[in-house]
Amino acid sequence: MEQKRVLLTICGRAGSKGFKNKNLKTFNGFPLAHYSLSAAALFLESRPELDADICVNTDSEPLAELITAKYPEAAVLPRPEELCGDTVPKMAVYQHSLREMERKTGRRYDYLIDLDITSPLRQAGDVAGAFEKKLARPDLDLVLSVTPGRRNPYMNMAQADGDCLRPVIANRNTARQQTPPVFDINASIYVFERDFLARNTTGFLWDGRVGGYEMFDTGIIDIDSEEDYLLMEAIARYLYEAYPAFGKIRENIRR
């Protein structure tokens, strides 16, 4: 069987309007970015048959130094200015990573796996689980991580309609049990089929056939403010004690 080639990416901008320098923060004693590096390392340990590379795509020299100090093998891809704006689709950054790494290595990858920096509470097997779902579903262009939705657009979400409110999705349901399952996209893990990513011209994920890998419900919170960050640290301390699989990624950083 031909060896699969995988590119793992860790992407982060220098600035953050909502939470200044969030990608450089320390989280429960270790740099936030090192949690994604540790998750990547555990994934590669679990899949030694893969031919894999890791890169960091950033316009932040301190972030690049923080990552390569822990993982010197990681390739640093300086992010061009046109990909640094607030409204730039993240897919454009993934495409830049794929294009530059294939140029640098002279190799063609089969998959790109992105691990978000601000998701330190993956369980040890989550990256492998998402990747294995993609392998099992070659009809999918992308597998992304999700959690069961805490709010349901069929039941308890509304949108403005002039000076009134109306349902986000028009329906006549009167009980939650009547609604289809809904999910929160937690932006922690993305597993792309290489050709779908390379050929996309819109920056829109939903132009492809998308599957979900379900993660632990409270393990991921978007870190967009100081309050989010403090809450995530508190949740982490509980999870490390109650669910050993969460602690494995942090313990791996110590190594």
**Nearest-CA neighbor of 14 among 85, 67, 69?**
85
Q: How far is CA 72 from CA 69, 75, 183, in A?
A: 6, 8, 36
Q: Can you give the pLDDT at residue 176?
A: 85
C-alpha–C-alpha distance, residues 39 and 213, integer Å: 16
Q: At what angle do helices 32-46 and 244-254 cross, to 10 degrees?
A: 100
Flag whether pLDDT at 233 surpasses 80.
yes
Q: Give the helix ranges, DSSP H, for 152-215.
A: 194-199
Q: Can you give the pLDDT at residue 18?
A: 62
Instruction: Please indicate whether residue 222 or residue 207 has the higher confidence score (pLDDT).
Output: 207
Helix (H) or strand (E) holding 75: strand 75-78
Dmax (CA) for the chain in angstroms is: 62
142-148 and 30-31 strand pairing: unpaired
Confidence band of 85 (pLDDT split at 50, 70, 90): confident
- Please state which CATH number belongs to domain 5-149+182-254: 3.90.550.10
For the chain, give the percent of residues with pLDDT over 70. Answer: 98
Flag whether pLDDT at 69 surpasses 70.
yes
Q: Rounded mean pLDDT of 177-203?
A: 95
Per-residue pLDDT reduced to its tens digit, 91-124 = 999 999 999 999 999 999 999 999 999 999 999 9
C-alpha–C-alpha distance, residues 137 and 118, integer Å: 27
**Nearest-CA neighbor of 252 among 97, 122, 106?**
122
Q: Can you give the pLDDT at residue 15?
A: 66
Q: Can you give the pLDDT at residue 16?
A: 63
Q: Give the helix ranges, DSSP H, for the chain.
A: 32-46, 61-70, 90-105, 126-136, 194-199, 226-242, 244-254
51-58 and 75-78 strand pairing: parallel
**Nearest-CA neighbor of 211 among 152, 131, 127, 154?**
131
Confidence band of 88 (pLDDT split at 50, 70, 90): confident
Per-residue pLDDT reduced to its tens digit, 13-51 = 876 666 778 899 999 999 999 999 999 999 999 999 999
C-alpha–C-alpha distance, residues 213 and 188, integer Å: 10
C-alpha–C-alpha distance, residues 118 and 229, integer Å: 9
Lowest mean pLDDT among 3-17, 39-53, 146-160: 3-17
